[in-house]
């Protein structure tokens, strides 16, 4: 319980120092077992149309706890994308390896695992060697880091309702490092720019 509280305090301090707007919603699910849900929403007004979201829910899915930068993007309602660091299991699962999307650059494809429902859009988004390099640098800078589109669509306020999000996020934990948060903003802005170009 102490660690969870200190995570909120760390984010509050980061927001205060950066002059970002900080909002938190907490709900006690079970006082007896210390189960609490928390939604932290931070607005960085220097980067318009972006949300820094950290969630701890009582769901039992893979994103019960997550944290990251979310950019609303319109015009891609049915598009899905998830990029993560490639791991040892991926390398030995031949069926999975056969099904995954590959960009055609062997040094990039060897390091990342991509799931998508639209090869053409994904190829357009990732065709630049600069984008590929930035994604690799980001994913390998920590554990459980992802780049997604329409993977998590947080609905924490009226502004976010019904929107599809490009997300640069961490699963199974919260982003509590300012450098990582800044790197997430940078990568998100780069990818959002590519989405806008491709419209």
**Secondary structure (DSSP) of 66-116:** EEEEEEE--S-TT--EEEEE--HHHHH-HHHHHHS---S-HHHHTTEEEEE
Strand partners, 113: 84
Question: Rounded distance, CA 4 to CA 67, Å?
Answer: 13
| Beta strand ranges found along the chain (DSSP E) | 21-30, 35-43, 51-56, 65-72, 81-85, 112-116, 145-149, 165-171
pLDDT in tens, 142-172: 999 999 999 999 988 889 999 999 999 999 9
Percent of the chain whose predicted confidence (pLDDT) is above 90: 72
Q: For the residues 4-20, what does the mean pLDDT come to? A: 89
pLDDT at site 29: 60
pLDDT at site 112: 95
For residue 120, what are the contacts with CB-CB under 8 A and spacing of at least 6? none
Name the least confident of 9-13, 61-65, 103-107. 61-65
Question: What count of residues does the chain have?
Answer: 199
pLDDT in tens, 31-53: 555 567 899 999 999 998 999 99
Q: What band does 1 get if pLDDT is binned at 50, 70 and 90? A: very low
């Amino acid at each position: 319980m102490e660690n969870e509280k200190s995570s909120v305090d760390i984010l509050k301090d980061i927001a205060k120092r950066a002059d970002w707007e900080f909002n938190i919603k907490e709900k006690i699910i079970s006082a007896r077992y210390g189960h609490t849900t928390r939604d932290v929403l931070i607005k960085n007004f220097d980067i318009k149309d972006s949300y820094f979201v950290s969630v701890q829910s009582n769901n039992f899915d893979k994103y019960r706890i997550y944290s990251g930068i979310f950019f609303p993007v319109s015009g891609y309602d049915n598009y899905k994308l998830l990029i993560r660091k490639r791991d040892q299991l991926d390398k030995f699962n031949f069926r999975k390896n056969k099904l995954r999307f590959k960009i055609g650059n062997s040094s990039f494809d060897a390091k990342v695992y991509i799931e998508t429902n639209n090869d053409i859009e994904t190829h357009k988004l990732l065709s630049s060697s600069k984008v590929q390099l930035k994604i690799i640098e980001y994913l390998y800078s920590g554990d459980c880091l992802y780049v997604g589109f329409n993977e998590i669509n947080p609905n924490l306020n009226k502004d976010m309702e019904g929107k599809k999000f490009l997300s640069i996020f961490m699963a199974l934990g919260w982003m509590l490092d300012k450098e990582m948060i800044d790197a997430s903003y940078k990568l998100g802005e780069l990818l959002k720019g590519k989405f806008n170009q491709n419209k």
